[in-house]
Chains A and B, each alone.
Chain A
Amino acid sequence: MSAHMKELTKGLFKENPTFIIMLGMCPTLGVSTQVSNALGMGLSVIFVLTFSNMAISALRKIIPDTIRIPSYIVIIASFVTIVEMVLHAYVPSVYAALGVYLPLIVVNCIILGRAEAFANKNTVLDSALDGIGMGVGFTMSLTLISLIREVFGSGTITLFAVGGFDGVIEIPGLHESPIGVLTLASGALLVMGYLKAFFQWKSARGQK
């Protein structure tokens, strides 16, 4: 596999930000109540992560070491503000659902973590690939957690409303008597814990 391909795919499983590096736990636990929220959050993070990684990588030789953190925060905050304004204008339902977690992408440790650990040492192309890979890895993890929580916790799968389809798929059997605890914060921690254990077991088995 070429080096570029490696930067892109490492975020999916090997260095998955949620299950392996354990970054960005706050939004992961907070917005994983519905699949549509997870997808909205994931796409916003992919956008912010990719563009902030590219901008930081392009400016890595210009930004002095002493002001790198404030510079990163300003760059990341600008992209988050742009995402916020665009979502507010064109997808208000997702904007409303993400609520306070959307501006909090600014301090999402995946983004600052990748800026500090990767983008300020690598080329623009590699940083963009790293951003896309990590963003997609985060989105996949978030969607997986929210799918489990929503299917078992509410008996529904909430996607986006298109035309006559209202966006909500009800699962017979589970919809009438769901496991309510999974929709609460404690349910998020439980699901996260089991999935982390599963990924730990899987990667330990892979090393043998």
Chain B
Amino acid sequence: MREILRTGIILFLICAVSAGLCGIVNSVTAPVIEENLIREREAALAVAAGEYTVGNEITVDTPEANVAYTIMDGDEAVGYVFELNASGYGGAMTIIASYYFDGELINAQLTTNSETPGLGKNAENSWYMDMFKGLGGDSPLPSSSADLSADDASAVSGATVTFTGVSTALRNGSELAKSLGGAV
């Protein structure tokens, strides 16, 4: 009994010291990480909005999008930009994407992700999102790599889970833009 207690206490102390150490480092790094994420999000919003400017924040009540803004062409609202949640091979991902009111994708960028370098991480490149641009309005967004051209399908092969995650999130965003339809 004494031996078990002694072993338990030693393991507890190791865990407590380790957790304390991590806590101290976290208290220093957490604000910096938060700041980086905000800066990254703002930069990605501006990139996704492209030639348009980012307008006011709007509230959307859906688990598929975290934040939403209108995008403006001068004084006139032309669409939305969303931060969308997606699920990839390495877990949760976020995508910033802009749409016209009819659901047509203007631009998109993969931001937070833990995808495999060289495979799923390719989705961070602009050519990856070029596959989806202009779709979602009159012509539908691809739902699997079978809907792509041969060149595009071979570019995403090896990272099917990432592709499905990205295309699902973009389709959700397109539906969301349609459902809001310029009402806000």
Contacts and interface: CB of A to CB of B under 8 A. Distances in A.
Contact of B18 (A78, A85, A100): A78
Contacts of B43: none
Nearest to B13: A62
Nearest to B19: A78
A184 B18 contact: no
Nearest to A187: B118
A67 B28 CA distance: 31
B14 A34 contact: no
B90 interface: yes
A74 B10 contact: no
B120 to A, nearest CB: 9
Contacts of A99: 90, 113-117, 121
A101 B28 CA distance: 23
Interface residues of B, number: 28
Interface stretch (A8-16, A86-94, A170-178, A189-197): A86-94
A143 interface: no
Given A82-B21, A183-B118, A100 B90 contact: yes
Contacts of B18: 74-75, 77-78
A177 B5 CA distance: 65
B62 interface: no
A62 B10 contact: yes
A43 to B, nearest CB: 17
A81 B22 contact: yes
A70 B19 CA distance: 14
Contact of B117 (A63, A67, A74, A97): A97
A71 interface: yes
Contacts, number: 76
A100 B14 contact: no
B33 A88 contact: yes
Nearest to B15: A74
B2 interface: no
Interface centre among B26, B29, B118 (most CB of A within 10 A): B118
Contacts of B1: none
A33 B117 contact: yes
Interface in B96-141: 113-118, 121
B10 A67 contact: yes
B22 A82 contact: yes
A33 B122 CA distance: 13
Contacts of B38: none
Given A70-B11, A75-B18, A82-B25, A89 B117 contact: no
A77 B32 CA distance: 22
Contacts of B158: 184
Contacts of A77: 18
Interface in A16-47: 30-31, 33-34, 37
Interface of A: 30-31, 33-34, 37, 59, 62-64, 66-67, 70-71, 74-75, 77-78, 81-82, 85-86, 88-90, 92, 97-101, 183-184
Given A86-B29, A88-B29, A98-B117, 10 more contacts: A34-B117, A59-B14, A64-B7, A74-B14, A85-B25, A85-B29, A85-B33, A89-B30, A97-B117, A99-B90
Q: Which 6 residue pairs of A and B lie closest in terms of their CB atoms, listed nearest first?
A: A78-B18, A89-B29, A89-B32, A85-B29, A33-B118, A99-B114
